[in-house]
Structure 1
Amino acid sequence: MSTDAPKLSPVEGIKEGSQYLKGTIGQELHEDSDHFNKDNLQLLKFHGTYQQDDRDKRAELKKTGGGKAYSMMMRCRIPGGRLTSDQLLAHLDLCDELGNSTLKITTRQTFQLHGVVKDDLKAAIARVNAVGLSTLAACGDVNRNIMCCPAKRTGPLHNTIQQLADELTVALAPQTPAYHELWLTDDETGEKELVGGGPGEVVEPLYGPRYLPRKFKIGIALPDDNCIDIYTQDLGFLAVVRDGEVIGYNVSVGGGMGTTPSASKTFPALAKRMAFVTPDQAVDVAKAVIKVQRDYGNREDRKVARLKYLIANWGIEKFRRAVEEYYGGPLQDLTDDDVTDFDDHMGWQEQGDGKWSYGLNIENGRLYDNDQRQLKAGLRAVCQRFKPEIRLTGHQSIIFCDFDEDQRDELIQILRDHKIVTTEDTSTVRRWSIACVALPTCGLAITESERRLPGIIDGLEQPLAKLGLDKERFTLRMTGCPNGCARPYNADLALVGKAKNKYTLFAGGGWLGNRLAFIYKDLVPDAEVVDELVAIFAAFKANRQGDESLGEFCTRVGQEDLAGLAAAAPKP
């Protein structure tokens, strides 16, 4: 039997030799080049930034003999999507002054800034930190931004789960001083020695010198409000509530959306329910789960390095035993509590303290100003007038908090003055849709997504109204590639880029987030997408039973019968 050590992927060597994520980033920041080298590109992710190029400009530049139009995408770490008006204003300033003049609310309750050139990157990261936020661990093979129900409510429930999000953020953050040295000091040489890590000193007690095999995502939810899609997370904490108090959490493990169609060994997965933990156990159990993944996750093949593959190989019982071993004791069995509802927190909602919050739907999370709509200017006006607390949702939208009753009309008027479509004037299908960035900046995108979904919805709104389904709640999600950043694989309906101008159409998930969709049709041409969706809606209208949801209907009839019913149903 061979005793050879497993062959590690190249990225593992880059991490291990990086001096705890420092690499030669400092030197490159001072070099006369518009892009970073390949090794540093892997390390920069841990610092919250990806190198990209404008793919719309590639062909044009190639014709003239030029290179790529490089820039950096910068992502923040905003636990549970909670921030101040001043922090939002600072990001709006950043996107105007150092970015491409737009700001993206992500599906993980944070901001992405696109178009930052290399020479401005250090200044941009420093400015984020100057307002009390960070980009550290927003990307990379570590725990990323922790999702949590963003609703502002008085009482112990939301306070408890949001406090857990904050505690986990601190406990699971990388400890390397490289981030501070690279981005938050005035060293001009880029040659400063890494502080710490001397003989006998452990720089990363949780992660170690190679960090995790792959990215890691955590979400915290309430049973009656799964607004953060808990079963798509590597690690989920579902609050167990008794007599208005959180007595603990049902822990789920192994969710993940990414897949590679050409590799049958890859697949999307929903997390498996593992054990119940008390509030005082939650942080240490999270660390134990991460340590198991750190030590046993696949470091040879990044395609199968996520936690979901370890659990698929081991089974949930073996994985639980390993977690208990790292934790140092047995865990309690699960309670029966599970997800039962989903609140997107849009529109006016009472906070319970005499104040109101207002959830504003932001289509695909993109904040911009143009002749038709002034989203950035409108948000500036709201923040400057009211100074509300801000919450970002897992559906790429925004919540303004702490409004008095007599301020509600003024807020709505400010939005309308800036030609912003209010939530009340947004169709249900648009409100429950999300899309990833895709083209032109994402290097993995195969097809359009964010720029295409609004037009698809334009084509759906009238047929849905004719079918009497315009108030029907279902999730419609779109991604430009199979990596699944907009969580398509558990949606009622989803479009996933498969080939140029062609999509895989999924059906059968649901807004509750606890069921995977199936492939309904593959390689659907872009020009036929709307017709295919309308046919599904027509079949649903003609054949639904009782009050079943769209996803439930699709799952009940299955792919083959759904195709037949869709072909036979009268079209609106």
Structure 2
Amino acid sequence: MSTTPPQLSEVEHVKTANRYLRGTIAESLNNRLTGALNPDDTHIIKFHGSYQQTDRDRDSERKRQKLEPLFSFMIRVRVPGGVATAPQWQRMDALADAYGNGTLKLTTRQTFQLHGVLKRDLRPTIQGFNDSLLDSIAGCGNVNRNVMCNVNPHESRGHGEVQALAAAISAHLTPRTTAYHEIWLDGELQNTTEATDDAEPVYGKTYLPRKFKIALNLPPYNDSDIFSNDIGLIAIEENGQLLGFNVAVGGGLGMTFNQPETYPRLADLIGFVPTEKVVDVCEKIVTIQRDWGNRANRKLSLLKYTIDRAGLPAFVAELHQRLGYALAGTRPYQFHSSSDAFGWTGNADGLSHLVLSVEGGRVLDCPGYGLKSALHEISAFHTGEFRLTGNQNLILANIEPAHRIRIQAILEAHGAGPKAEQLTALRRNALACVALPTCSQAFAEAERYLPQLLDKLDAIIRAHGLAEAGILVRMTGCPNRCARPYLGEIALVGKAPGRYNLYLGANHAGERLNKLYREMLDEDGILRELAPLLAAYAVERQPGEGFGDFVVRTGVVKATLFGLDFHA
């Protein structure tokens, strides 16, 4: 047997020398000659929840003026299960104004993102949300990221237990290093030359090969898109009692154009576990990926590739060995929707909940629409929570009866009242990633362009009587997973400026991938391809049939149930 050590990627070498996520970040922050970090630190700061970015709209002009790019930072704040208090919302809102670009981004992983933070403002920003018991450690990086959970509290009596479990998993898998506290909160770095892997009992010195994601859901709602996660946990209830969870492993939606060895994949169900053992099961799955994952080629280093390379039976056998017992057989369940239920729920005699549509997840003020100001005013007296959904929307949860009319009036006064009934279901359900100008991976627009495209799709939708047909539209600026594009019934994935690949055929329950239908379409091409399909759907669909099911049934695209079939 060869004793040649395995080849490691550049990032693995950086992680080896990073001193448990310290790197030279402190020195980078003190360098006032540039708005950027040292190159190696751009990898390590991701573990602290931040990405270094540039304003690509201004790159050419700054280059002409012989200036360095306008560097800034995105900070992603963890919100386990998407539940934030009113004071936490107030703090994030204030920090966006003080140090960011004045807006809040609600992400598809139920987190806050601040954009446009300058290097000199990173420390006061992080200290600011730390004061409200929020943090950004593990917001990004090669660790378990924000743990998702469907958030509408009226869905089930067991919801509180599931939410608590999401928080427990998040806490257990948070990195143990003190580097975050040292760099951002007190500025005193510790001597780590003698540190061992005991400092990170789950992750070890070099953490995971790539990012890792976990989500929980209560059927029949799949708004966390369970099967797109490395670990998906499906709550099983009986007579109102939470029994445990079906466990699914190996989901992930990112890929790379022209590299068919990369592909989106849905997670496989592997068994059932009682609630009290869920955290341990998650830990053991993480450690298998830590030990088995590909550390040579980052494009093939996610858990989905580990499982397909080793084989699911071998992976499950290893899990059972590490647990010391076998998972039980999966329990019956059924999903019927991955969308949010907009508007008011509850009644005037008790606590109410309001699900607000937030286009692109961007909380801002603009002429005639003052959502950010309205929520700022509401946060001053609301005693419930601000709950971020996995679909970039917001729930004002547990509203006291005395506050319901007041909240409604404030939203309407700012032009931001519940208007879901005025929007097509297509628009309400649409997702978009940030893309340009700040994302370095983006080939095309997404968040800034999608509303313009939806205006034109809405006209087609309304003309065919499909205003309430809940078609799932997803748009991304690149083939990565930020808006879960490959679970869209209609997905547009940016391939070049103004050009998108069109994918069709996922289903509403989040249990089937879509399939490439056309490539390199401009706006006219997108409308030309979709218009006849939507017209046919309006006339020929069967009762209750979704658009994705329709295009599969009629042979427009083939059903894609397995990642290895995605490119077929």
Pairs within 5 Å for 1:81-160: 81-153=82-154, 156-160=157-161
Q: Which deviates further from its counterpart, 26-35 or 129-138?
A: 26-35
Q: Deviations over 1:447-468 (max 9, x none)?
A: 0000011011111112211101
- Aligned pair count reads 557
In the alignment, which of 358, 372, 382 is matched to residue 386 of structure 1?
382
Alpha-carbon distance in 1 for matches of 2:273, 2:317: 14
Which of 227, 247, 251 aligns to 1:251? It is 247
**Structure 2: how far apart are the matches of 1:561 and 1:541?**
20
> 1:390-409 counterparts in 2 under 5 A?
390-405=386-401, 407-409=403-405
Matches within 5 A, 1:25-424: 25-32=25-32, 33-153=34-154, 156-187=157-188, 192-194=189-191, 198=194, 202-342=198-338, 344-350=340-346, 354-405=350-401, 407-420=403-416, 422=418, 423-424=420-421
3-state secondary structure, aligned to 1:288:
helix
Runs in 1 of length 4+ with deviation above 4 angstroms? Answer: none
Give 1:513's match in structure 2, choosing from 510, 515, 535. 510
The answer on whether the counterparts of 1:291 and 1:326 sit within 8 Å (CA) in structure 2 is: no
Aligned to 2:563: none
In 1, distance between residues paired with 2:513 and 2:166? 26
Contact 2:383 2:399 in 1 (8 A): no
Contact kept? 1:350, 1:357, Cα under 8 Å:
yes
1:438 to 430, 435, 438: 435
In structure 2, how many angstroms separate the alpha carbons of the residues matched to 1:352 and 1:295?
54
Whether the 8 Å contact between 1:253 and 1:272 is mirrored in structure 2 is yes
Provide, for residues 219-273 of structure 1, a one-character-per-residue CA deviation record: whole Å limited to 9, x for no partner: 0001211111101011011011111111010000011110001211100011111
SS in 2 for 1:386: coil
- Who is 1:495 aligned against? 492
Aligned counterparts of 1:63 and 1:216: Cα–Cα separation in 2: 40
Quote the Cα distance in structure 2 between the aligned partners of 1:561 and 1:81.
35
3-state SS of the aligned residue for 2:182?
helix
Which shifted more, 280-289 or 424-433? Answer: 424-433
> CA separation of 1:200/1:64 partners in 2, compared to 1, >3 Å: closer, same or farther?
closer
- The answer (yes or no) to whether the contact 2:432–2:450 under 8 Å persists in 1 is yes
Question: How far does residue 35 in structure 1 lie from its aligned partner after superposition?
Answer: 0.5
Confirm or deny that 1:550 pairs with 2:547: yes
Q: Distance in 1 between matches of 2:499 and 2:218?
A: 37
CA offset digits 1:32-89 (Å, max 9, x no partner): 1211021100000000000000000011112222220100000000001101111111
Residue 566 of structure 1 corresponds to which residue in structure 2?
A: none
Amino acid at match of 2:5: A
Conserved 8 A contact 2:408-2:417? no
Q: Match of 2:131, as an amino acid?
A: A
The CA distance in 1 between the partners of 2:558 and 2:351, in whole Å, is 49
1:351 and 1:421, CA in 2 relative to 1: closer, same or farther beyond 3 A?
closer
Matched AA of 1:457: L
CA 1:199–1:47 in structure 2 vs 1: closer, same or farther (change >3 Å)?
closer
Q: Which amino acid aligns with 1:18?
A: N
The Cα shift of 1:333 comes to 1.7
- Matches of 2:159 and 2:280 in 1, distance apart? 21
Q: 1:494 to 1:154 in 2, by over 3 A?
A: closer
User: Separation in 2 of the partners of 1:160 and 1:494?
Assistant: 34
Query: 1:526 corresponds to which letter in structure 2?
Result: E
CA distance in 1, matches of 2:415, 2:313: 54
Which residue type is aligned with residue 120 of structure 1? D
SS of the equivalent of 2:21 reads coil
Contact 1:152/1:351 (8 A) holds in 2: no
Residue identity over aligned pairs, in percent, reads 39
| SS at 2:186 equivalent | coil
Tell me if the contact between 1:492 and 1:511 (Cα under 8 Å) persists in the aligned partners.
yes
What secondary structure is seen at the aligned counterpart in 1 of 2:136?
coil
d(CA) in 1 for partners of 2:229 and 2:196? 35
Q: Using the alignment, how far apart are the partners of 1:155 and 1:362 within structure 2?
A: 24
* 349-358 vs 4-13, which moves further: 349-358
Q: What aligned pairs does 1:407-486 form with structure 2 within 5 A after superposition?
A: 407-420=403-416, 422=418, 423-486=420-483
Cα distance in 2 between the residues matched to 1:240 and 1:536: 38
Distance 1:194 1:505 in 2: 52
Q: CA deviation at 1:525?
A: 1.4
SS in 1 for 2:271: strand
3-state DSSP of counterpart to 2:165? helix
* Structure 1 unaligned regions, length at least 5: 563-572
Question: Are the counterparts in 2 of residues 149 and 221 from structure 1 also a CA contact under 8 Å?
Answer: yes
Structure 2 regions of 5+ residues with no counterpart?
560-568
Q: CA deviation at 1:348?
A: 0.6
Distance 1:200-1:439 versus aligned 2 partners, 3 A rule: closer
Matched-pair contact (CA < 8 Å) for 1:19–1:194: no
Query: What is the SS of the residue equivalent to 2:369?
Result: coil
Shifted more, 138-147 versus 413-422: the winner is 413-422
Question: Shift in Å at residue 371 of structure 1?
Answer: 1.8
Which one-letter code corresponds to 1:538 in the other structure?
A
Query: In 2 relative to 1, CA 417–200 (structure 1 residues): closer, same or farther, beyond 3 Å?
Result: closer
Moved more, 480-489 or 459-468: 459-468
Q: Relative to structure 1, is the Cα distance of residues 537 and 527 closer, same or farther in structure 2, using a 3 angstrom cutoff?
A: same
Change (3 A) 1:199 1:138: closer
**CA separation of 1:345/1:80 partners in 2, compared to 1, >3 Å: closer, same or farther?**
farther
Offset of residue 155 of structure 1: 6.4
How far apart, in 1, do the equivalents of 2:174 and 2:210 lie? 15
Rounded Cα–Cα distance in structure 2 between residues aligned with 1:116 and 1:451 = 20
Measured at CA, do residues 374 and 200 of structure 1 come closer, stay the same or move farther in structure 2, by a change above 3 Å?
Answer: closer
| TM-score normalized by the length of structure 2 | 0.95
**Which residue is 1:540 aligned to?**
537
The Cα of 1:498 is off from its aligned counterpart by 1.2
Task: Give, in angstroms, the shift of residue 387 of structure 1.
Answer: 3.8
Distance in 2 (alpha carbons) for counterparts of 1:464 and 1:365: 23
SS at match of 1:75: strand
Cα contact 2:196–2:205 (8 A) shared by 1: no
Instruction: Quote the RMSD (CA, aligned, Å).
Output: 1.8
- How many angstroms apart in 2 are the aligned matches of 1:359 and 1:438? 25
- Residue equivalent to 1:565: none
| AA aligned opposite 2:238 | R
User: Contact conserved, 2:386 with 2:397, CA < 8 A, in 1?
Assistant: yes
Task: Verify the 8 A CA contact 1:153 1:351 in the aligned structure 2.
Answer: no
Question: Per-residue CA shift, 1:380-419, capped at 9, x if unaligned?
Answer: 1111243431100001011012224454333222112111
Structure 1 CA distance for aligned equivalents of residues 338 and 447 of structure 2: 23
Q: TM-score, normalised by structure 1?
A: 0.94
Question: Given that residues 364 and 396 in structure 1 are in contact (C-alpha distance below 8 angstroms), is that contact kept between their aligned partners in structure 2?
Answer: yes
CA deviation string 1:401-447 (max 9, x = no partner): 22244543332221121111523333211111010000000000000
What letter is aligned with 2:482?
C
